[in-house]
């Protein structure tokens, strides 16, 4: 990275505060990342200077807002290596993106007796929509098992595949464990049986280089707020031929070409899937977030985060009572753990009293927690603005908390 850690931290106003009289240490980045000042400034400038509805206006403000809005679609296209901006659909989050595929692709192409495959480590947003679809259609949901270290058992996945498999929907990187799944191999195997593949990229897009053409995934879903951008904005990438074959998800304005009481003609992609007034300000403010990532470089970001994760392992694993959950060889910067005999929520509160923000609970992955026989974990997730000094302070706090139990 060309910038020092102090320079990077200087770009994020929220980091410069105290919590309970202690300097804030923000280790809840897998839930949401903080926002650089450029994002906050863009939100403010849109509402102060360009606030207008887009696409249909003939006046200057509408034209400026429309151009900025559509420029972000092109920025996202380049960010994930899509072939064209029309393959980029704006939603309100990863959850809505997955539901869009379930409701549109699923209702049209999934039939009774068809099979959908997901993994044991999925977020609820990549479980529940498929359960609902399977119940409605009479389809079958199959689950890829995982090892004790939190890695997909690939041979078992291959055994699940058949000509009945119509869709494989898997997380690229686990929000609860940090595991990076072998998605390219998963996609290749699924395509041999004619199945389509959706990747949940909510956690991977901020850490890993992603090129959807190289991966050959059929769909990719992710959220802006985990990429230093605003909340309430998601992305769905889909291959053109699939999006064109899918029916609209919502009906209303913008997603139509012509409406009469006898018949409605739907708009071209991506507008066919973007009914109503969109989340204009947050889309426009997403561009400086993506520019921030591109400016630093994904490789530099990942190298820094990998270093933090390695340091966390060095300091936390020797602490008596600390048990890591998820020890895959390939991980993003997530350290999930329990302290034997202590509830994760209690640990989280004791860390918060020291100004350290972590996430506790099942992380919307209850089936995964059941696989490990636990209620939940304490999850620390690191980002580009975190430092080794913060890791040291956190490790010292965990050691003191663990001593309370071991007395």
Residue pointed to by tokens 């850490």? 207
Query: Whose CA is closest to 105, among 225, 222, 197, 212?
Result: 197
One of 364, 369, 374, 399 is an active-site residue; which one? Answer: 364
Q: Does 217 qualify as catalytic in the annotation?
A: no
Query: Whose CA is closest to 224, among 273, 162, 283?
Result: 283
Could you tell me how many residues make up the chain? 407
Query: Whose CA is closest to 295, among 40, 74, 11, 93?
Result: 11
Q: Which residues contact 318 (CB under 8 A, 6 or more apart)?
A: none
C-alpha distances in Å from residue 113, one per residue of 76, 141, 195: 36, 10, 14
Q: Which residues contact 348 (CB under 8 A, 6 or more apart)?
A: 358, 359, 360, 378
User: Which of the residues are catalytic?
Assistant: 364
């Amino acid at each position: 990275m060309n910038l020092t850690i102090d320079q990077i931290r200087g770009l994020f106003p929220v980091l410069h505060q105290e919590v309970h009289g202690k300097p804030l240490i923000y280790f809840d980045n897998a839930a949401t990342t903080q926002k650089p000042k450029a994002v906050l400034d863009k939100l403010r400038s849109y509402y102060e200077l360009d606030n207008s509805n887009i696409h249909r206006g003939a006046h200057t403000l509408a034209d400026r807002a429309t151009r900025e809005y559509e420029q972000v679609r092109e920025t996202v296209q380049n960010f994930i290596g899509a072939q064209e901006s029309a393959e980029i659909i704006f939603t309100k989050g990863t959850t809505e993106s997955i539901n869009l595929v379930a409701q549109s692709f699923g209702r049209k192409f999934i039939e009774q007796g068809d099979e959908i495959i997901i993994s044991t480590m999925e977020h609820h947003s990549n479980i529940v929509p498929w359960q609902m679809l399977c119940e409605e259609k009479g389809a079958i949901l199959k689950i890829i098992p995982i090892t004790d270290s939190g890695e997909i058992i690939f041979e078992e996945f291959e055994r699940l595949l058949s000509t009945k498999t119509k869709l494989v929907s898997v997380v690229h990187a686990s929000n609860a464990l940090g595991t990076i799944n072998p998605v390219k191999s998963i996609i290749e195997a699924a395509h041999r049986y004619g199945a389509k593949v959706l990747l949940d990229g909510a956690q991977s897009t901020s850490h890993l280089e992603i090129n959807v053409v190289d991966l050959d995934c059929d769909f990719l879903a992710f959220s802006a707020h985990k990429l230093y951008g605003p909340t309430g904005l998601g992305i769905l990438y889909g291959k053109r031929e699939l999006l064109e074959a899918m029916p609209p998800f919502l009906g209303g304005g913008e997603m139509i070409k012509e409406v009469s009481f006898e018949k409605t003609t739907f708009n071209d992609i991506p507008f066919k899937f973007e009914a109503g007034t969109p989340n204009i300000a947050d889309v426009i403010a997403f561009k400086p977030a993506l520019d921030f990532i591109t400016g630093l470089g994904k490789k530099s970001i990942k190298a820094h985060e990998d270093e933090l994760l390695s340091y966390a392992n060095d300091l936390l694993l020797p602490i008596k009572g600390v048990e890591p959950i998820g020890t895959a060889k390939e991980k993003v910067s997530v350290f999930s753990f329990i302290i034997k005999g202590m509830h994760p929520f209690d640990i989280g509160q004791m860390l918060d009293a020291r100004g350290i923000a972590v996430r506790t609970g099942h992380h919307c992955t209850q089936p995964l927690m059941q696989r490990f026989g636990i209620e939940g974990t304490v999850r620390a997730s690191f980002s580009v603005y975190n430092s080794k000094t913060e890791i040291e302070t956190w490790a010292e706090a965990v050691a003191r908390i663990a001593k309370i139990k071991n007395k």
